[in-house]
Amino acid sequence: MPGKIWFVGAGPGDPDLITVKGRKLLEASGAVLFAGSLVDQAATLFAPDGCDIRDSKDMTLDEMTAWLIERAQRHETVVRLQTGDPGLYGALIEMTQPLTAAGIEWAVVPGVSSAMASMAAAGETLTLPEVTQTVILTRVAGRTPMPPGEDLESLAAHKTTLCIYLSITLLHKVQDALRAAGWADDAPILVVQKASWPGQEKIIRGTLADIKQKCQAEKVGSQAMIVASPTLGAADWPDLIRSKLYDPAFTHRFRKASPASAVTTEINP
């Protein structure tokens, strides 16, 4: 019987941010195909001596699939190591369809996305009570077009947190779309290049008006996350609306409201 192929999210770049399960699979693997153009090669250091390790950056999709199928005939555990999370802007389904057709078992191990790593690096939050409770993960149309209704201007009109992937070279289009959606020129914008990569991470803070110039000055032209959000800079706000979950005036199933509180509302955490 052929072995099992695991699609493992390596996380945003720091080898320590791979999941425990992902690391254990690497340590038990007979073959590893890793995205060398995106995944820090340090992540492959968890593989055992003698492991068949291949960088996929010069391979086509068909070549990668063939490599995985051939190694699954020889090894019990084969790992396809992908950047971030395998299900987000990865060729997961395109690669797993041929595996299923060939009768090879496969599974996915999720990974930390660069959106979360970028906000963590900058000490920012994706959501805030009564500011925004919605996060949109998207990109700008480039060689890959956007489906109808998913253009950035339409999504930006919601004024929620936007985590914009794969678009740093199209930052001018991001600016145009946000302006068309009603975002002000002084709206805060965050760009993080190589979030969590040891010694390589860059954090650029600016506004809709000047973020492109700041990124050009820092020579940020690839592997960067763009975040537009009404939550940016909240750590410096003098007043915040606090979460009701921790409000002493509210009761939920784990805590009674303080006797001195005037309002009691039942909520579920």
Each residue of 150-160: pLDDT tens digit? 999 999 999 99
Question: DSSP assignment, residue 178?
Answer: H
Instruction: Write down the pLDDT at residue 9.
Output: 96
Instruction: Write down the pLDDT at residue 226.
Output: 98
Q: Give the residue among 140, 69, 79 at the shortest CA–CA distance from 104.
A: 69
Q: Specify the residue for token string 């001018």.
A: 172
| pLDDT per position as a tens digit, 182-233 | 999 999 999 999 999 999 999 999 999 999 999 999 999 999 999 999 999 9
Instruction: Write down the pLDDT at residue 263.
Output: 46
CA terminus-to-terminus distance, the chain: 46
pLDDT: is 165 or 249 the higher one? 165
CATH hierarchy code of domain 114-234? 3.30.950.10
CA distance 98 to 180: 42
Confidence of residue 37 (pLDDT cuts 50, 70, 90): confident
Among 22-26, 52-56, 76-80, 238-242, the minimum mean pLDDT is found in 238-242
The pTM assigned to this predicted structure is: 0.89
* Buried-state track 31-53, b at ≥16 Cβ within 10 A, e below 16: bbbbbbebbbeebbebbeeebbb
Q: For residue 68, is pLDDT > 70?
A: yes
Q: Which fold has domain 4-109?
A: Cobalt-precorrin-4 Transmethylase; domain 1 (3.40.1010)
Mean pLDDT rounded to a whole number for the chain: 91
Question: What residues have CB less than 8 Å from 120, skipping those under 6 apart?
Answer: 195, 196
Instruction: Write down the pLDDT at residue 38.
Output: 80
Instruction: Write down the pLDDT at residue 110.
Output: 97
The ranges assigned to domains in the chain are 4-109, 114-234
Q: For residue 7, is pLDDT > 70?
A: yes
